A and B are shown apart, each in its own frame.
Chain A
Amino acid sequence: MSAVSTTRRTPPTTPQAAEGSRRRTGKYTGGNPLVYALALVVVALTLGPVLYGVLGGFRTNAQLAQSPAGMPDPWVLFNYTGVLTNPAFWKYAFNSTVIALITTALVVVFGIMAAYPLARYKFKGREQIFMVFVLGLLFPATVAIIPLFILITDLNMGNTWWGVALPQAAFALPVTVVILRPFLQALPDELEEAALLDGASRIGFFWRILLPLSGPGMVTVGVLAFVGSWNAYLLPLLLLQSDMKTLPLGVADFSSEYSSDTAGVFAFTTLAMIPALVFFLAMQKRIVNGLQGAVKG
């Protein structure tokens, strides 16, 4: 029903939240060794492949072949420096960044604009327009991918940033509107009444009061759109060639072109995953809240 009640009531996964649930579970506080052992197994299985890749980048192919499960000995840097001095890597990273930024901007701006009347105006056809977006959630992007590829090529946007960003934003809009509408609905009516009494127009209310108050909601949908675009593969695969490629395409290419250079592949993938990981750590709370909002909304 409401993503807002979610954001309000569900404590985020932060240290404070951990603190909270610690007390909430009351007597059932099993800090026993078995629990820690299980947790350790889970951590090892989760992080193992990622760490193996990171460490693999510090080894030579000879080391990897000789003892696949060993540690770097000696540690070598040339795999990483090789990737970092590779202009293609930076080109791909730049393309990924620009496409993700365009996608995010489109999603946030168009999303909040559409959500505003759908949340706070009363008009005929409002629920129908909202249903159009809700139904959009049901359409897997894959269904439209081939005609989309033809359409973008016909528009001469085949190998461009916009050619990828526009459809990505379009497919991200349904979830954005579905998250933002209840968020805007939950802002108290008194605010709007006061603003209108003070002589503000509805657009003035939107611009001066609603926009500043919906910051958290916009950050949430923005983060989801950014991560979605950053990780996207299928659409860029069909549309982008040569030096317009994004990082996921670059990673896939590198891994098939230099498949015998395992250490190089590990270094490339490790460096490619850093931006998403850093972004995630910084925005963890928002991503989790957004996903919960999408699930509970």
Chain B
Amino acid sequence: MTDVADETTARVGVTASPATSSPQTVVTGRASARPVAPAPGGRRGTGSALRKRLEIAFFVAPALLLFLFFVVVPIIRAIQLSAYRWKGYGPLVDFVGFKNYVSVLQNDVFIGALQHNLIIVVASIAIQLPLGLAIALLLNRKMWGQGILRTIIFVPYVLAEVIAGVVWLQLLQPKYGVIDTVLDAVGINGPEQGFLGTPQYALWTVIVVLTWKYLGLAVILFLAGLQSVPEELYEASQIDGASWWQTQRKITIPLLGPTIRTWAFLSMIGSLQLFDMVWILTGGGPANATTTMATFLINEGTKRQNYGIAGAASVILFVVALVLALLYQRFILRRDIQDPALRKKAKA
């Protein structure tokens, strides 16, 4: 029971009086020293083996069945569909092998969509990382209204993409929307068809809206990471005479590494799946300037009933996501796994 008491003190220690740094470190050290290994479950052993199995089955089965039925089966179905020409009714008879894949990969609209997805992946990280870091460092300083600021910055993230999209669609109305009007007032003429209606601006406009929507997530995660940087490091660097900026650059940002790398991974997977915002803002247009892989496959599947093509496109989407995820894991996340000392320090 001492353990429980300690846990409670640890929680209270952090939430109520985080200012007292030394007890916190002691508790933290103790907490990470305690093995988080799974509890030895079957120690009662004899004769109850069957009972234990039944218990396991009883507990795991509902989740596992739901998952298999509504996630695994549809994914296998998508792979199956991708090998047929099928219009949505009748049996699957028209087996075409890899023809759907060939036709998807030769389709300029799909290749364009893939490029848009990749641009969005890179742009999201390249824009949100520095902005998010800057805002997180800014909000991590002592200032009035800090709590409210943190709440506000997170608001766009909580809104549905559709709702945010509809509001931005109104703001971006050509000529009469507030954005065009304000730009007009400072002497910039927006494009005739509006920013979303002009092929050369549309994708970047979508990226701006996405930045607005998702920057808050980066900021909140970075802030959380910042709070776990041990205070001793700040004190030490102050004693050594480091400036604020030096401290951030040499201590804070490197220690945020694991948080940043995981955030970037999530951001990448999200960008590859992007659908809602594009569907609301442009529907993939104008002239396919903003299609994504997801809008492509929804278009083929539900509007044109080309289920085989949609199946092939979704398999390609998955393979792209998987390959990028594996590469990322291999070359970037590996550092975190390889260097547990640093990881621990950053998390402590």
Main secondary structure of the interface of A (DSSP, over half): helix
The answer on a CB contact under 8 Å between A272 and B143 is no
Binds B, one of A49-57, A72-80, A81-89: A49-57
The answer on a CB contact under 8 Å between A252 and B170 is no
Binds A, one of B97-105, B108-116, B172-180: B172-180
Main secondary structure of the interface of B (DSSP, over half): helix
Interface 0/1 of B157-186, CB less than 8 Å to A: 011111110111111010011100110010
CB distance from B189 to the nearest CB of A (A): 15
The answer on a CB contact under 8 Å between B41 and A123 is yes
Task: Check if B59 is an interface residue, CB within 8 A of chain A.
Answer: yes
Task: Check if A156 is an interface residue, CB within 8 A of chain B.
Answer: no
CB distance from B329 to the nearest CB of A (A): 10
The answer on a CB contact under 8 Å between A117 and B56 is yes
CA distance A178 to B1 in the complex (A): 27
Instruction: Please give, as numbers and ranges, the residues of chain B lying within 8 Å of A45 by CB-CB distance.
Output: 212
Which size class do A's interface residues fall under? 35 or more
CA distance A292 to B223 in the complex (A): 10
A146 and B78 in contact, given A13-B150, A202-B55, A231-B160 (Cβ under 8 angstroms): yes
Task: Check if A242 is an interface residue, CB within 8 A of chain B.
Answer: no
CA distance A19 to B302 in the complex (A): 52
Residues of B238-265 at the interface with A, using a CB-CB cut-off of 8 Å, are 238, 244, 247, 258-259, 262-263
The answer on a CB contact under 8 Å between B146 and A113 is no
CB distance from B266 to the nearest CB of A (A): 7
Instruction: Please give, as numbers and ranges, the residues of chain A lying within 8 Å of B221 by CB-CB distance.
Output: 291-292, 295
CB distance from A244 to the nearest CB of B (A): 17
The answer on a CB contact under 8 Å between B141 and A191 is no
CB distance from B238 to the nearest CB of A (A): 5
Task: Check if B85 is an interface residue, CB within 8 A of chain A.
Answer: no
Residues of A176-202 at the interface with B, using a CB-CB cut-off of 8 Å, are 177, 182, 185-186, 188-192, 194, 196, 202
Closest to A140 in B: B273
CA distance A190 to B44 in the complex (A): 15
Task: Check if A160 is an interface residue, CB within 8 A of chain B.
Answer: no
Instruction: Please give, as numbers and ranges, the residues of chain B lying within 8 Å of A131 by CB-CB distance.
Output: none
CA distance A148 to B317 in the complex (A): 16
Which size class do B's interface residues fall under? 35 or more
Task: Check if A101 is an interface residue, CB within 8 A of chain B.
Answer: no
CA distance A279 to B265 in the complex (A): 27
Instruction: Please give, as numbers and ranges, the residues of chain A lying within 8 Å of B77 by CB-CB distance.
Output: 144, 147, 150-151
| Chain B CB within 10 Å, residue with most, of A35, A147, A191, A196 | A147
- 7 new A-B contacts, CB < 8 A, other than A166-B70, A227-B158, are A25-B140, A113-B60, A117-B55, A143-B75, A144-B77, A147-B75, A262-B170
Q: Which residues of A are in contact with B by a Cβ distance under 8 Å?
A: 1-2, 4-6, 8-31, 35-36, 38-39, 42-43, 45-47, 49-50, 52-53, 56, 64-65, 67-69, 106, 109-111, 113-114, 116-123, 129, 132-133, 136, 138-151, 166-167, 169-171, 173-174, 177, 182, 185-186, 188-192, 194, 196, 202-203, 206, 227, 230-234, 238, 247-249, 251-252, 255, 262, 265-266, 269, 272-273, 276-277, 280-281, 284, 287-288, 291-292, 295-296
Ordered by A's residue number, 7 sampled pairs between the chains whose C-beta atoms are within 8 Å are A28-B238, A42-B138, A46-B155, A49-B168, A111-B63, A144-B71, A291-B221
